[in-house]
Structure 1
Amino acid sequence: MIPPRWVWHLRDAQGDEMTEPRCPVFTNRFDAEQWLGESWRDLARQGASVAELYNDGTQAAAGVVLSTEVAPPPR
């Protein structure tokens, strides 16, 4: 039996899918989400604006916005 494949697809600010940086393939969702939690700052610095999680070629969740900008506090 082949384990499920979880992979992040990255999009730039224009919404185009990025070919670099490459994301590893994971056998479970937990590991994929943990990796993104550890890597999102570096990915954002490399131009990624959104990360979309796919499971065996099907999008598994809404995209995650990657931004290193701090939002102003609410007034």
Structure 2
Amino acid sequence: MAWTWRFEKADGTEVAPAVQPEEFTTQGDAESWIGELWKDLVEGGADQVVLFDGETKIYGPMSLHGNDE
């Protein structure tokens, strides 16, 4: 299965990411990618993300904003 991210506005509507992700082979690779690029994603209009393993939702929505929102 491929690990993928869904990018959303705060209300849950899907948005296109500012940085196009790949399909990741591990959860750790997907999480590392978000950890490196979350600021670019926020600047591009994403507020939160949801992680999927294939069609299975693993967790989320997870805010891309810090506690200082």
Tell me if TM exceeds 0.5. Answer: yes
Q: Which runs of 5+ in 1 are unaligned?
A: none
CA displacement at 1:20 relative to structure 2: 3.6
**1:6, 1:29 within 8 Å by CA — same for their partners in 2?**
yes
Residue among 59, 62, 66 paired with 1:61:
59
* Runs of 4+, deviation exceeding 3 Å: none
Q: 1:20 to 1:37 in 2, by over 3 A?
A: closer
Higher fraction of strand: 2
Structure ID, larger Rg: 1
- Structure 2-normalised TM-score? 0.84
Pick the aligned partner of 1:14 from 3, 11, 14.
11
- Which ranges of structure 2 fall in alignment gaps of 5 or more residues? none
How many pairs does the alignment contain? 68
Give the match for residue 21 of structure 2: 23
**Equivalent of 2:30 in 22, 32, 39:** 32
Give identity over the alignment, percent. Answer: 31
CA contact (8 A) 1:13 1:47 kept: no
- By relative contact order (CA 8 Å, sep 6+), the higher-ranking structure is 2
